[in-house]
Amino acid sequence: MARSGTLLRPATAIVLALSLGMTGCASLPPPPEHPPSAEALVLTRKADRPLIAFVLGGGGARGFAHAGVLKVLDDGGIRANLVVGTSAGSLVGALYAGGIRNDELLETALAVQRDELVDFVFPHRGFIEGNRLQTYIDKALKGRLIEQLDIPFVAVATELATGKLVAFTRGDTGMAVRASCSVPVIFQPTAIRGSEYVDGGLVSPVPVKVARESGADLVIAVDVSRQPDEHKGLGSTARGEQACRRRHPAESRQGTRDRSRRAWSGDCGRRGGGARRASADPQPDRGPLRRKPRPLRPGDMRIIPLWRPRR
């Protein structure tokens, strides 16, 4: 009897595991009736105004900072004709395109809980399944498809097998956002129409190209993945130089002032000399081996972050 009881224990454990597995499979949500698809997007152009696109990049938990940027743009009267998002930017972008804006969008970003977006599972190509994220988006948008949102919306994802960029423009909004947010190893890949998709930030962290190819004339892109101090290779454009001279005519006449404390903004150069790069390196000159930066010329690019944290 003792031996038979010992033999029954492994069998009982196997039966219990199989039953749990069958229960888990039975609890999976049914496949969507309209899975996301990547089709050509046709925007309605008005003769009196350019087509404006908001492009929201990835950034993990920092992605909710997009809500503040979108509120500022709305308060300034800037309206988007297209919203393109990748990774966390697709989550906020979908809510914005669905009509959740201004204070409501901020309240939504502050009120969301981790349990509403994250569903941990036994690790298999990822330990977050993604069903809760998909359900959260579909519930917030009342089940509307991408083509039914107030503003045309594009969710950028990466096809796992080929590494190809895919821009979802139609179909289930929640599943498209889930695919765009499926960070490899963390999220399980999202299966759509027999293919698997992962985070769009792998191929396009800030998908400006997608907005341009969709016909946008003016692109306002937001990158929250890095701090402003991490932007290297600052440059300036000829327009920026002229605007700087108009705003600071006295400095243009007297020459460049020392702005090492504000390396992120451009200095007005001398007449005809263009803008000069401000040194952000507090270390003293190390002698002739230290190369001085050349004066920036018109046509160079300067990336100016929208904000700078206090020190």
Distance (Å, whole) CA 140 – CA 97:
12
3-state secondary structure of 230: helix
Residue type, 15: V
Residue type, 228: P
Distance (Å, whole) CA 199 – CA 189:
9
3-state secondary structure of 116: helix
Q: Give residue 171's region: left, alpha or beta (phi > 0; psi -120 to 50).
A: left
Active-site residue, 87 included: yes
3-state secondary structure of 169: coil
Catalytic residue among 138, 172, 180, 199: 199
Distance (Å, whole) CA 204 – CA 184:
15
- Alpha carbon distances (Å) from 220 to 52, 80, 88, 209, 252: 8, 9, 17, 12, 29
Contact 250, 265 (CB under 8 A): no
Distance (Å, whole) CA 110 – CA 123:
29
Contact 82, 51 (CB under 8 A): yes
* DSSP state letters, 66-81: HHHHHHHHHHTT---S
Distance (Å, whole) CA 306 – CA 310:
13
DSSP lists the bridge partners of residue 276 as: 267
Active site residues: 87, 199
